[in-house]
Amino acid sequence: MNIEKGYIDAEIPDGIDLKSEIRKMCIEKNAVILAHFYQKGDVQDIADFVGDSLDLSRKAAETDADVIVFAGVKFMAETAKVLSPEKTVLLPDLNAGCSLADSCLPSDFKAFTESHPDHLVITYVNTTAAIKALSNICCTSTNAVAVVESLPVDQKIIFAPDKNLGNYINGLTGRNMLLWDGACHVHEEFSLERILLMKKEFPEAKIICHPECQKPVQIVSDFIGSTSALLKYVQDDATQTYIVATESGILHQMRKNVPLKMFLPAPPNDSTCACNDCEYMKLNTLEKLYNCMKYMAPEIILTDDLRFKAEIPIRRMLEID
């Protein structure tokens, strides 16, 4: 089957119930669907497990399924392959990249780390396997503080690729990590000015954001956390209205888990764009999921050398908490 476009572009038979066919294939092929909170609502709803990037990597390491279908982006599927090399790992659309991962290229990063030989390297999981292979330990936004604090206080550290998360963690831990100059195009797009205007309109609302947002947005936020931390916060907190500064997919879980509360997507700088959507995350659709399971492609393939090198920092991270 041709995957020139990065996904299987086969026609879907007329009149089939995509959701039940996908679930049927999960049983027939002993497959598990892992979906990130930023996926489209219908993709999240069909998954066996929906979670943040840390939970998803744990699930990928633990599952006894033969096939992992990753409804997320490529770095997440690569992490699953690194942790479960004997399994078939499928990604419905190989074009599902990540602007943050793209902001850190292996040749530049290698030169950067070599120019600071006394520093240990912590990389956020939002990196390619090639960058992980150049790292000492990985982290996600859920466990970044624990990972940093697992190293001696006087240890010099390079943190990459997200400078906003890095700055935030520096503030929480009192460290002075050297930061790579990378960022996510979705989280950098939120407009402080328009968020404050929204707050004027909804004075009772709490502002919550992901640490990939820029510092001014973090400063006005009542709570800052990873996708799973944001979700937990809105469930546990007594407030009824939230201005949510992260990718729009999380709103699906928030509305599902606390249907009586109001969730307002934080406005981006450009009011005409769908900037709250990560266009990479949103490439996955039920149609592509169906075709990818039917034809068992596209598959994530990594060389043994890359896999062995990338596994070390990921396993170190998973051992921490």
Q: For the window 262-301, what string marks contact with ligand 13P as x by the rule CB under 6 A? A: ----------------------------------------
Judged by beta carbon distances under 5 to 8 A according to partner kind, the member of ligand SF4, ligand 13P, none in contact with residue 141 is: ligand 13P
SS3 34: strand
Rounded CA-CA distance 31/23 in Å is 9
Any idea how long the chain is?
321
| For ligand SF4, the closer CB: 133 or 245 | 245
Closest CA to 291 of 70, 5, 42, 18: 18
The residue (of 98 and 134) whose beta carbon lies closer to ligand SF4 is 98
Residue 270: exposure state from Cβ atoms within 10 A (0-12, 13-18, ≥19):
exposed
Q: Which is nearer to ligand SF4, 43 or 100 (CB)?
A: 100
The H-or-E segment that residue 114 falls in is: helix 106-114
Closest by CA to 294, choosing from 2, 3, 5, 8, is 8
Q: Is 245 in the site for ligand SF4 (CB under 6 A)?
A: no
212 near ligand 13P (CB under 6 A): yes
Q: Are 213 and 185 in contact (CB under 8 A)?
A: no
Q: Which of 247, 263, 288, 307 lies at the binding interface for ligand SF4 (CB under 6 A)?
A: 247
Of the residues 63, 113, 127, 227, which one makes contact with ligand 13P according to CB under 6 A: 227
Instruction: Choose from ligand SF4, ligand 13P, none: what does 34 bind? Cβ within 5-8 Å by kind.
Output: none
Tell whether residue 184 is a contact of ligand 13P (CB under 6 A): yes
Short-list 252, 182, 207, CA closest to 38: 252
Cβ pair 84, 122 in contact under 8 A: no
How many chain residues are in contact with ligand SF4, going by CB under 6 A?
A: 12
**H-helix or E-strand containing 56?**
helix 53-62
Where does this chain touch ligand SF4 (CB under 6 A) — which range of 5-13, 43-51, 179-187, 261-269?
179-187
Which entry of ligand SF4, ligand 13P, none binds 99, CB below 5 to 8 A by partner kind? ligand SF4
- Which one of ligand SF4, ligand 13P, none interacts with residue 93, CB within 5 to 8 A by kind? none
Measured from the CB atom, the residue of 98 and 217 that comes closer to ligand SF4 is 98
Q: In this chain, which stretch among 41-49, 81-89, 253-261, 273-281 interacts with ligand SF4, using CB under 6 A?
A: 273-281
Nearest-CA neighbor of 71 among 102, 103, 45? 45
Specify the stretch interacting with ligand 13P by CB under 6 A; choose among 89-97, 136-144, 294-302, 307-315: 136-144
Task: Please tell me the chain's helix, strand, coil percentages from 3-state DSSP, rounded to the nearest 5.
Answer: 45, 15, 40
Question: Stretches 63-71, 138-146, 263-271, 283-291: which one binds ligand 13P (CB under 6 A)?
Answer: 138-146
- Residues 321, 313: Cα–Cα separation, whole Å: 14
The reply on whether position 188 binds ligand 13P by CB under 6 A is: no
- The per-residue b/e assignment along 66-90, b for 16 or more CB within 10 angstroms, e otherwise, is ebbbbbbbbbbbbbbbbbbeebbbb
Query: Judged by CB under 6 A, which of 44, 164, 221, 226 binds ligand 13P?
Result: 226
Binding site for ligand 13P (CB under 6 A): 52-53, 126, 140-142, 184, 210, 212, 226-227
